[in-house]
Structure 1
Amino acid sequence: MKNSKWRKETSPIGSGTHAEVYLAVPVDDVNSSMIAVKSTHIEYAYNLQREAEILRQLRGCPHVVQCFGDDVTDQYYNLLLEYAPAGSLDRLIYPRGRWDCKMAESDVAFYAYQILKGLLHLHDKGFVHSDLKPENILVFPTIRESKFLLKLADFGVSRRAGKNDFDEDDDDEPFCPHHCRGSLVFASPEYLSSGIHRTLDDIWSLGCIVVEMLMGQPPWLCESTNDLIFQIKYEKPEIPEDISSGAKDFLNKCFYKKEDGDDERWTARMLLKHRFVQDNMDAQSRYGGGISMLSCPNNPLSYDDNQWVSTKDLFLPI
């Protein structure tokens, strides 16, 4: 690794609130894969450095994007990440930008299973993603052309479970849902009411994503931010009528609210055993399309589990 030379492309392939994402290509080994480099000026690198620490603790899960290390070049802090050549889940939901391209239930269950595996690992480590949405779920091609491997990504606003935004901001003003972390469309009603991050908030977000995959359109269609906040707090995303009873029950478990009764929203571990997931996974396996058949290219960078990769001259000057 110390002898590798990489060149970071000049134009970003993506951007977010805290950083931009670039491709980095190997200079000497033409057969090696590309990597993604998430960069921001060192002065504003706090969120990216925190994301690096979270990713360090999440290493080893096949459904969480792998981070190979960090690097500082020219006053920029860089995270070295797996590159997802197939983009993100929103491209699968909206092929060529088209709405109403509904996925087959078997595919939805297959992808829900993978998201749940990533969430289970995240939640077992004590974290809440806090911004789970299709754009933050990366898609990797596999040896089966019609099947894709999904990995959770973008942990820039992730928090420890139980963390309160009001306490963290150290502000005299009460929490305001208009200023919530992450995407408002996928926020849970409990978070919008309290500002406290819970693992079950990610389950609500997963339900919204499943609805989006089944319907081929966003889970909420609103005229204003206030309208959206009201609907999330007091309503639930519409569950399609033309889906199986298993899919409907799965979504009801994701969208459970306290006023519905004495139970709680199901956890990632419980949903992995739900019949909607299990029945479809059994069918996938029978026809040779199960998760065991998925395989991605080897990671282009090797790393020591106990040590971050970091070197001042990793990237060649542009």
Structure 2
Amino acid sequence: MVKIPKISGRELQRLKRDGKFLGEGITAKAYLVTMKKGRQAVLKVCQDQEFDQSFEMEIDILQRLNGVAGAPLLLGVCRKPMALAMEYCEGSTMLDLVNSYDISNKTLLEVALQVVREVHKLHQKGFAHNDMKTDNCIIDMTTTPATVRLIDFGTCTALGQSPGYSCDPEGMHLAPELCRLGSATTAAEVFSLGCLLEDLVTGREGEWFPTILHQLVDCARRQDPEWRPSMTIVEEVLEQAVSEMAAETNPR
């Protein structure tokens, strides 16, 4: 694995002081910072020592992935207190694209197909994201085709391991079995991707999408993981949906 530069406690304080506060969750506060060589980064600072172990796991996974599926590269680590700096991924979230009518339905489907392909790459590496949703997909529309990157690997695990979710699955983007301390599987990821596609369709309520896309959403979100399609089938169906959108004279 690539050796990650250390961030001293003093440097951490400087980064926090000069950085832009982005927000906070249960485990961490996030800042947009500028590293010593002028590179922008996202700095995650642990909220409490009880979350140190989850930070260690995220550091290990990001090292192992080394950019697979567009995962941000690690740029530095501080362990007292626990913090990590990672590559800043420029672009818009998929949710932003859904809400932007400058983006056609066909382009949205093309981006969704790229998201599925990136998640598939993650699975082939032996990992599951475990938190796939529109907020965790960053899209750079300045490239052709658009560049898709997955972010927020805080609950990413190896396939077969449990991310430790214990919550009410009703209405969530997480598979019901995953919410009950279940293990990470490709089937659980398919459920989340089905929810992501549903968000895409409902976000453009009343607009035309291929029937096959609606069918895919229903199949991917089945409660029984045995009855969900494989990642390969999800990818193939989306490819067909994109082709249908391209053939439609007025996709919007």
Asked if TM exceeds 0.5, the reply is yes
Tell me if structure 2 keeps the 8 A contact 1:110–1:281. Answer: no
Alignment match, 1:248: 214
Tell me if structure 1 keeps the 8 A contact 2:72–2:89. Answer: no
1:139-154 counterparts in 2 under 5 A?
A: 139-143=139-143, 148-154=146-152
1:55-134 counterparts in 2 under 5 A?
A: 55-61=62-68, 63-72=69-78, 75-95=80-100, 104-134=104-134
The structure carrying a bigger helix percent of its residues is 2
Determine the C-alpha separation between the residues in 1 that align with 2:243 and 2:84: 34
Determine the C-alpha separation between the residues in 2 that align with 1:16 and 1:161: 25
Alignment match, 1:289: none
Determine the C-alpha separation between the residues in 2 that align with 1:241 and 1:24: 40
Tell me if structure 1 keeps the 8 A contact 2:210–2:245. Answer: no
Tell me if structure 2 keeps the 8 A contact 1:112–1:210. Answer: yes
| Unpaired segments ≥5 residues, structure 1 | 96-100, 169-174, 218-238, 285-318
1:282: how far off?
Answer: 9.8
Alignment match, 1:290: none
Query: Normalising to structure 1: TM-score of the pair?
Result: 0.61
Alignment match, 1:301: none
Alignment match, 2:249: none
**Pair 68,139 (structure 1): closer, same or farther in 2 beyond 3 Å:** same
1:115-264 counterparts in 2 under 5 A?
A: 115-143=115-143, 148-164=146-162, 177-178=167-168, 185-192=172-179, 195-216=182-203, 242-258=208-224, 264=227
3-state SS of 2:70 partner: coil
RMSD: 3.7
- Deviation track 1:286-308 (CA, whole Å, cap 9, x = no partner) reads xxxxxxxxxxxxxxxxxxxxxxx
**Pair 118,16 (structure 1): closer, same or farther in 2 beyond 3 Å:** farther
1:51: how far off?
Answer: 0.9
1:18 maps onto 2:27 in alignment: yes
Number of residue pairs matched?
A: 235
Percent identity, aligned pairs only, is 19
Tell me if structure 1 keeps the 8 A contact 2:128–2:189. Answer: yes
1:78: how far off?
Answer: 2.8
Greater CA radius of gyration, 1 or 2?
Answer: 1
Determine the C-alpha separation between the residues in 1 that align with 2:89 and 2:67: 17
Determine the C-alpha separation between the residues in 2 that align with 1:191 and 1:42: 25
**Pair 112,157 (structure 1): closer, same or farther in 2 beyond 3 Å:** same
For 2:189, the aligned partner's letter is D
Determine the C-alpha separation between the residues in 2 that align with 1:15 and 1:45: 16
Tell me if structure 2 keeps the 8 A contact 1:58–1:121. Answer: no
